[in-house]
């Protein structure tokens, strides 16, 4: 049976209301959609609070939830040590960066990318459509796996921009694309043809109340299932790739 793993779930979102979802709602949503495990993280908060929130969630559902830490510079203290402690000592499997809250400039994010490479964990980056910054990062850190959220831009309707993000992944083997919030779904078929399925990850970017959390997750899943793909490609995208990337049991 195909294993379904969600590579992009928020305990706290970056929307205007900074909406939080309890681990219970996250897991109930997964159950409703048939999702076995999910990567969870919080944004719109400090790195240390993001770590605490993900730890609480994973403590409640250790077999279902996989924690990422959120990287955001702080005036109070350096966050690199907090990120390293979370990954080295607390079972965190990756780092989330969001261009909406953290500029992707070299003097801000490069130390985080270097740390991720050194510790062997991926960085999930929402680049908010910033192709140039993404290209610089994947080129500057060939030893760091960079997961580009939403194939480059959330709900992007600019097919040309999506093509450019796929081109970028073709050129740089350390770049993966997450398929959450991709509305031009035929671009996913293009990406499989040009890039191969190994570097594409299913994700819901949930929970999302529109229309309700279960339907949102089911719709994201249906989006992948409706694509004209081989069974092997579908299996890789829906879970196999994340299992290999994070070395999950
Ligand atoms: Zn997201």
pLDDT band of 14, cuts 50, 70, 90? very high
pLDDT score recorded for residue 82:
98
- Cα 123 to ligand 1 centre (Å): 13
Instruction: Specify the length of the chain in residues.
Output: 249
State the pTM of this model: 0.97
Burial class (CB in 10 A: 0-12, 13-18, 19+), 116: buried
pLDDT band of 10, cuts 50, 70, 90? very high
- Cα 148 to ligand 1 centre (Å): 11
pLDDT score recorded for residue 1:
78
- Cα 8 to ligand 1 centre (Å): 6
pLDDT score recorded for residue 21:
97
pLDDT tens for 136-147 read: 999 999 999 999
Give the domains, in start order, of the chain with CATH numbers.
Answer: 5-245 (3.20.20.140)
- Cα 51 to ligand 1 centre (Å): 16
Mean pLDDT score, 122-129:
98
pLDDT tens for 47-93 read: 999 999 999 999 999 999 999 999 999 999 999 999 999 999 999 99
- Cα 127 to ligand 1 centre (Å): 11
- Cα 14 to ligand 1 centre (Å): 7
């Amino acid at each position: 049976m195909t294993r379904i793993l969600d590579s992009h779930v928020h305990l706290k979102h970056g929307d205007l209301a900074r909406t939080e979802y309890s681990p219970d709602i996250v897991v109930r949503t997964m159950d409703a959609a048939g999702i076995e495990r999910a990567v969870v993280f919080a944004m719109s908060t400090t790195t240390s609070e993001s770590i605490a929130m993900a730890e609480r969630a994973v403590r409640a559902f250790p077999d279902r939830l996989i924690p990422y830490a959120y990287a955001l510079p702080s005036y109070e203290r350096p966050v690199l040590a907090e990120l390293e402690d979370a990954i080295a000592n607390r079972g965190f499997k990756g780092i989330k960066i969001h261009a909406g809250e953290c500029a992707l400039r070299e003097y801000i994010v490069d130390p985080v990318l270097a740390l991720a490479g050194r510790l062997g964990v991926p960085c999930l980056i929402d680049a908010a459509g910033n192709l140039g910054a993404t290209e610089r990062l994947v080129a500057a850190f060939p030893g760091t796996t960079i997961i580009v959220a939403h194939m480059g831009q959330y709900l992007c309707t600019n097919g040309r921009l999506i093509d450019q993000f796929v081109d970028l992944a073709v050129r740089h083997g350390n770049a993966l694309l997450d398929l959450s919030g991709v509305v031009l779904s035929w671009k996913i078929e293009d990406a499989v043809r040009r890039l191969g399925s190994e570097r594409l990850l299913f994700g819901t970017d949930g929970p999302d109340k529109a229309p309700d959390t279960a339907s949102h997750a089911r719709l994201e899943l249906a989006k992948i299932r409706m694509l004209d793909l081989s069974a092997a490609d579908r299996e890789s995208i829906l879970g196999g790739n994340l299992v290999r990337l994070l070395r999950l049991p």
